[in-house]
Structure 1
Amino acid sequence: MTRAFDPPYSPLAQSDAHLARQGFSLLGANDVAAWLGASMADLERLHGAWNDLPADGYLKDGGRYRRRRHSCFVVGGAQVTESPHRAHWQPLEYNALHGGMQRWFEPMAAEMRADPLWRRILVRVGEAVSALHGARPWYVEAHPFRIDTTDGIGRPTPEGAHRDGVDLVAVFMLERHGIKGGESRVFEAEGPAGQRFTLTDPWSLLLLDDARVIHETTPIQPLVPGELGWRDTLVLTYRRAGFQGD
């Protein structure tokens, strides 16, 4: 059996310092709830939207294991402005598998986009990236993901270890259901050091300085052969000076 490595969580008060020093920071679920000023019940209410994610029709490996939506926002301080719906685009430099193509995903549900808790999440992560890189407007792409075991195996990062070409990546773990695998791996982009760990607690959070680290998540498999399992995450990317593809 593969050993599961515990996440090296940062105390909430030291999260910004750890992110600046090592290029990533991890927050436990209770700290995330306190950081957002929300109850776990509030966060689980938001998670209900993951039961209505359309299939990703762009997977070049022919897989059926990924469901997702995509919406964009501009965050400046406490101000959140929703952007007109747009394609998700990445250069081949950052995504050799799916880069260079416009991928039009369905937007997030309107009630979720308007939820005050959702906007608080965008603002709080904006504060983290501003502490790291200086305050400015941030161009945010939001990706609710469900990776499942429809094909017997699900690949959270089919492109492999990568950067996203942004300033900050935030990965919220929402749920693991009936799976094994799904180990997170973070490596220095310009060095040998790395960390591996498995996020299990709903609403724990991984923050990544995208210029300094690369990341990936290993495939998932069902705990019980033939039974469907899944892994739900929310991925937010923050970028200065505009969306990729502009």
Structure 2
Amino acid sequence: MDTDTGFLDPADENAAAARSAEEAARTALAGTGAYLMPPADVLTCLGADTTSWAHFAAHWQDLTEDEYAARRGTRRLRRYGHFSLSPVTGELRLLPHTVFVQPDNTNPLYESVDRHFDPLTGAFVADPVLRRVLGLLGRVAGALDVAEWWSVKVHPFRVVATAEGGGEPTPEGRHRDGVTLVSSLLIGRDNATGGESRVYGPEGDEILSATLHEPASLLVSDDRGTLHGVSPIRPVDTALPAHRDVLVTTLTPG
């Protein structure tokens, strides 16, 4: 396993800017329950440049079909992995691959359903950008709860739409995931319009609404007290397919 712990070198000239960006996310999460971290802040926190980000984004070319979404008319490609993360040391451990199950009273389409997805590739697991993303999320989640270890579930997604439809990032509609922190990192989008992300309070009041256009935009929310959903995407040029690539990651005390 890669030994990158997800922590920036304190001597790095960007470390102060990264700490400030992380603190802004932590403050917003503890306050309103949701925050959109700008791409420049995310890349600073990750210590990522154009080359390392492009290498990371290339993993979205190696996803596999989500047969469960296909049954409801949505073409979605994905993989799935489960890690444990130490909030103290940043140590990240890949756990044995298992089925993915969402708890009761969360996702109305799939709660308590065993869903079998292909595992993350070895190259994806070893990518330093992934490991730094998870480290960043672990530090941000510390604003919401104290954990000896975080249970981290990782879902790279590609949603595909055509002129005939099918571009539903969240076919279940407004929902919770039954976790502490839920996040959506935009990897990229092509020929796509729509895909507006919304976060709601428990009474249905809208807390945050944003369309993630620029790669490395990161939306985080406190899943314990909010719900979230994403509007459909559609192709700009209807002669060609549209796609929207995101990394959805959830954290819960392990």
TM-score by length of 1: 0.89
1:126 matched to which residue of 2? Answer: 138
Deviation string 1:17-51 (CA, Å, 9 cap, x unpaired) is 11110001111111001011221321221110101
- Whole-Å Cα distance in 2 between the matches of residues 56 and 128 of structure 1? 29
| Alignment of 1:93 onto 2:105 | yes
Report the equivalent of 1:199: 212
Corresponding letter in the other structure for 2:221? L
Residue 222 (structure 2) aligns with:
209
Q: Is the 8 A contact 1:72 1:84 kept in 2?
A: yes
Q: Which of 120, 125, 136 does residue 148 from structure 2 map onto?
A: 136
Amino acid at match of 1:38: A
Is contact 1:171-1:236 (8 Å) kept?
A: yes
Unpaired stretches in structure 1, ≥5 consecutive residues: 1-9, 242-246
Displacement after TM superposition at 1:60 (Å): 6.6
State how far apart, in whole Å, the 1-side matches of 2:129 and 2:246 are. 17
- 1:202 alignment partner, SS class: coil
What code does the residue aligned with 1:40 have? T
Partner secondary structure for residue 117 of structure 1: helix
Within a 5 Å distance, the mapping from 1:38-57 to structure 2 comes to 38-57=48-67
Which of 91, 100, 114 is matched with 2:126 structurally?
114
Task: Give SS of 1:58's match.
Answer: helix
Written as runs of structure 1 = structure 2, the 5 A alignment for 1:44-193 is 44-59=54-69, 61-77=71-87, 78-150=90-162, 151-190=164-203, 192-193=205-206
Q: 1:193 to 1:44 in 2, by over 3 A?
A: same
Structure 1 position 19 matched with structure 2 position 32: no
Structure 2 match to 1:37: 47
Identity of aligned residues (%): 37
Does the CA contact (< 8 Å) of 1:130 and 1:136 recur in 2?
no
Range that drifts further, 191-200 or 78-87: 191-200
* Contact kept in structure 2, 1:92 and 1:98, CA below 8 Å: no
SS of match in other structure, 1:98 = coil
Moved more, 72-81 or 125-134: 125-134
Equivalent residue for 1:225? 238
Q: 1:226, CA displacement in angstroms?
A: 2.7
CA offset digits 1:194-229 (Å, max 9, x no partner): 332211010110011001211100011111113111
TM-score (normalised: structure 2):
0.86
